[in-house]
Chain A
């Protein structure tokens, strides 16, 4: 069973932007796309650990600020030809409230 944690409201995440959530499992980045979809990834690029929350968000991807790897927001996979994956977390938005699961 997923335990959903209430984190914030949708408005608190800028469109095409991100917020950092501090958790016991480390920092998690919450991303919001132009279509108001929200995704959660561990805030570490699979390449050299860059903070993905600080990157530029476009489509359903984010560009790491350190060496410009592109990471898919939905599954945490690096876009080819780069290879790597960062952990993704279940997230849902209900009535504008964003819930995160650490499962």
Chain B
């Protein structure tokens, strides 16, 4: 079949990102031709400020070099501006007469600096600030001249002013409004910003309107005069008062434009063969000038060009971070407030810190921060997710507590870290490595940074730090994805929720069936999605879906825990931590017989045999004659207990028996992640119930149940769920909570992450307040566990898994 022709006009970040997304989805669908008016391949426009400031060269900011176009068989025309679209014949025509036919046309013409219509605007030395050419002109001027004036005290203007000052110019910023960056900042934070920039040597003229630019008689600008008659010298004038979408080409072709090329939620213009993305479009009345929304648009547009037709763009919440070294500033969403909103403000004048949060009812809708932006990603994520913050409102302003996060030396302020300091303790990645990768490889997302540097890719405790580094390096281009729409993995565009919904509602019972139904873009998934799908299927259809061992991580396939040298560890069940002399003797005999190098008592009160050869596992299990302790699985691990009322002089409840009962009842329970329980017989809490997924504490009059604690990477104290009287109630509430978590959590979320996402109120509503729902949850769990058997027993062992072949 002959390929369709896709022509792209404009060779900037939004357009090329669209092509990249398209090539991922449908590499062979189109013959692609690209026309760029500039002489450069796609470069990272947001890094122009570091280039101007002398921190980077132009070659450092190229995102796709000429070879990339070649490798992807893209015909590239540089230096060729398209001047006409003949829609009838579906042809575009360039300035030099080059023509190209299209079946689909993608307009990514970007935007230009708005040049004030004042006398003298055409003089030499008057530039906008939009591309490499402007930047080069400014660098050249800085070498020859002294006085620079930047008109416009917005993001771009301030970055330009900072760069020119660093190049030795005497810079004055002229701004029409009464405070800087009025679209991103309130007056308080703008005042703090202005003082900081003044300390760096910049001058400011606020509430000044430009009257005219005066020439030196040789065609170059010499000074600038204002409406009030005053005048200051200017050898270079940078217009940074705003951008205008480049719509002339589209308008001339009769495509509907209204302050931008008007597109639908599928990024389609009024001509169905023509799509548009980036700064040239107007979507639901908004034209975006930041990079982050462009990437969202690119994804959607590529999805439709690839004929998948399921994605749609609903607009973006944007955030701003000024890329001026030494100034920490962040704003996002609606920060000016209004009648519907109220504010939480913290202002430390001497400390140079300011924080304002804007809430609508109990949803965070905007934030401005100056001086301390370490929690910016956390707030921004909540704004994007529209999360209800009622439960944490009283602590919201103090930020996300990083206390107790292990692995990053207690660091939580990326800006104060030197390049040599370690960010990710798991993978040994320091700050300099991350910054270098972001700049050189052109990374924009947390996922990109993880892939390239491994930072925060293991335990994730330094994710906040990495996000901060990313945000301050790429500025407004960084936007965390709303968690609700995050795809499960690269194999699909569906979120965890969408996948689970389809499995439930369509009664999908196998992985291939699910992948086909949901249009997976790989034939058999990857190591991320297959284990998740296998769990989701087993959770939704416990007796219909067939377990797929090849989609399980090795630990759950071998029913033992793989160690760094490829040997395994074996932990037999000892219900409630109770054992017998006979069991201990058998364990000792096994350890001797199979030369087990290490025997250790675990944190969960069990005995661990470490360093076992894979081939010995089935023999050891048979000799032990004890059930699997599931120490390797995403399942109920151990129920830790204290001695309790049977022996302890303080004990008020029989915690040991309760632990045994729970471990027996919920044995063999597959879960999104490991699940730990503890039962203490009195409030002295010797079983450490406060840091377990479910922690139960006996009191004189019954049992208190706590949930979603965590003793791992992030130490989080479990939250009180309910107090009950009887053993049966403990079983029912614990089981119902476990089932709710099983049914709603994303695969690999611990209960702490799950409850943080849905809120404790949601859990209480389903498990505590609604008795019928609680009983139904508990019944579903008991049904799922029906017929489950010990994976170590002979009939469950697949010999092939453990025997090796020889030649």
Contacts and interface: CB of A to CB of B under 8 A. Distances in A.
Interface in B518-560: 522-527, 530-531, 549-554, 558
B611 to A, nearest CB: 15
Contacts of A23: 806-807
Contacts of A17: 549-550
Nearest to B806: A22
Interface in A45-82: 48, 50-51, 54-59, 61, 63, 65-68, 70, 81
B351 interface: no
Interface string B796-807: 000010001111
Interface string B434-473: 0000000000000000011000001000000000000000
A56 B805 contact: no
B566 A12 contact: no
9 contacts: A5-B807, A16-B550, A21-B807, A34-B524, A48-B564, A54-B554, A54-B562, A56-B531, A65-B553
Contacts of A66: 562, 564
A97 interface: no
Nearest to B531: A56
A77 to B, nearest CB: 16
Nearest to A8: B805
A5 B522 CA distance: 33
A59 B527 contact: no
Nearest to B551: A56
Interface residues of A, number: 35
B683 to A, nearest CB: 42
Given A12-B800, A48-B564, A55 B527 contact: yes
Given A17-B550, A34-B523, A54 B804 contact: no
Interface of A: 5-8, 12, 14-17, 19-23, 27, 30, 34, 48, 50-51, 54-59, 61, 63, 65-68, 70, 81, 100
Contact of A59 (B522, B549, B562): B522
A67 B523 CA distance: 23
Contacts of A67: 458
B550 A19 contact: no
Given A56-B550, A57-B550, A7 B807 contact: yes
Sort A-B residue pairs by CB-CB distance and give the 8 closest, nearest first.
Answer: A63-B527, A20-B804, A54-B554, A56-B527, A16-B550, A5-B807, A51-B566, A21-B805
Contacts of B550: 14-17, 56-57
Given A16-B550, A19-B800, A81-B451, A59 B524 contact: yes
Nearest to A27: B804
Contact of B805 (A7, A48, A54, A57): A7
A21 B527 contact: no
Contacts of A19: 800, 804-805
Nearest to A56: B527
A100 B807 contact: yes
A58 B552 CA distance: 12
A83 B614 CA distance: 29
Nearest to B457: A68
Contact of B452 (A50, A59, A68, A81): A81
Contact of B526 (A5, A58, A100): A58
Contact of B554 (A8, A55, A61): A55
Among A7, A48, A59, find the residue whose CB has the most chain B CB atoms closer than 10 A: A59
A16 B550 CA distance: 6
Contacts of A7: 805, 807
Contacts of B554: 54-55, 65
Given A34-B524, A67-B458, A100-B807, 20 more contacts: A7-B805, A7-B807, A14-B550, A15-B550, A20-B804, A21-B805, A23-B807, A51-B562, A54-B558, A54-B566, A55-B527, A56-B530, A56-B552, A57-B550, A58-B526, A59-B526, A65-B562, A66-B562, A81-B451, A81-B452
A79 B159 CA distance: 38
Contacts of A61: 526
Interface in B748-807: 800, 804-807
B527 A58 contact: yes
Among A6, A58, A100, find the residue whose CB has the most chain B CB atoms closer than 10 A: A58
B553 to A, nearest CB: 7
Nearest to B452: A81
A17 B550 CA distance: 6
Contacts of A56: 526-527, 530-531, 550-553
Contacts of B566: 50-51, 54
B488 to A, nearest CB: 14
Contacts of B525: 58
A67 B551 CA distance: 17
Interface string B595-626: 00000000000000000000000000000000
A12 B801 CA distance: 10
A49 B413 CA distance: 35
A16 B526 contact: no
Contact of A68 (B522, B527, B551, B805): B527
A82 to B, nearest CB: 9
Nearest to B453: A81
Contacts of A70: 527
Given A8-B805, A54-B562, A59-B522, A14 B800 contact: yes
A21 B806 CA distance: 5
Nearest to A30: B805
